Amino acid sequence: MYQKGLNERQHDPEAVYDWIKKNAENGVPDAQIDFGFMYQKGARVQQDYEKAFEWYKKAAESEHPKAQIVLGNMYKNGWGVQQDYEKAVEWYKKAAESGYPKAQVNLGYMYHEGEGCQQDYEKAFEWFKKAAERGDPKAQFALGVMYEKGN
């Protein structure tokens, strides 16, 4: 329903903005992600990482894996929030456990590097493998590197 309404308004930027805002405020997770993205990039609104974070968090708390990985990225990079690798791992893990390959890759890198968690090549390998099996090229590359280096 949300996406259909968005597609119907695609030729009118003001209508798109109004549609996204209305649905985000009404608790539609996809709209909350879109609204967060608008604030993150400064699209039709003043760029504001803190507001972007707030909208992503609303969607992430409703168990939306795309929002969870974005929230993890924001914590990892300190965008709109104090940098916190442990919280990044927490959000990546939520999305990874739901089967989201990008989150599995990101979580694999966190374990590989020991950022926000104890360095653990076995866990890194497990998460890379899960994403690689779903066809993620970054995970496939990471697995290749781990095999090459004997990790």
| Alpha carbon distance 55, 35 (integer Å) | 7
Average pLDDT, the chain: 96
Query: In Å, how far are 28, 29, 40, 50, 116 from 67, measured between CA atoms?
Result: 12, 8, 13, 15, 19
| Alpha carbon distance 85, 88 (integer Å) | 5
Q: Between 24 and 1, name the one with better pLDDT.
A: 24
To the nearest 10 degrees (0 to 180), the angle between helices 137-149 and 121-133 is: 140
Do 20 and 54 share a domain, yes or no?
A: yes
| pTM of the model as a whole | 0.90
Do 4 and 46 share a domain, yes or no?
A: yes
Quick one: pLDDT at residue 87? Answer: 98
Asked if 86 contacts 72 with a C-beta cutoff of 8 angstroms, the reply is no
Do 53 and 125 share a domain, yes or no?
A: no
Do 82 and 119 share a domain, yes or no?
A: yes
For the cut 90, the answer to whether the pLDDT of residue 35 exceeds it is yes
Q: Give the structural domain span for 97.
A: 65-151
Q: What is the mean pLDDT of residues 102-107?
A: 98
> What's the number of domains the chain is made of?
2
Quick one: pLDDT at residue 151? Answer: 83
Asked if 35 contacts 22 with a C-beta cutoff of 8 angstroms, the reply is no
Do 94 and 131 share a domain, yes or no?
A: yes
CATH value at residue 145: 1.25.40.10
**109-144: per-residue pLDDT in tens?**
999 999 999 999 999 999 999 999 999 999 999 999
Q: What is the mean pLDDT of residues 88-95?
A: 98
Q: What is the mean pLDDT of residues 9-23?
A: 93
Do 9 and 73 share a domain, yes or no?
A: no
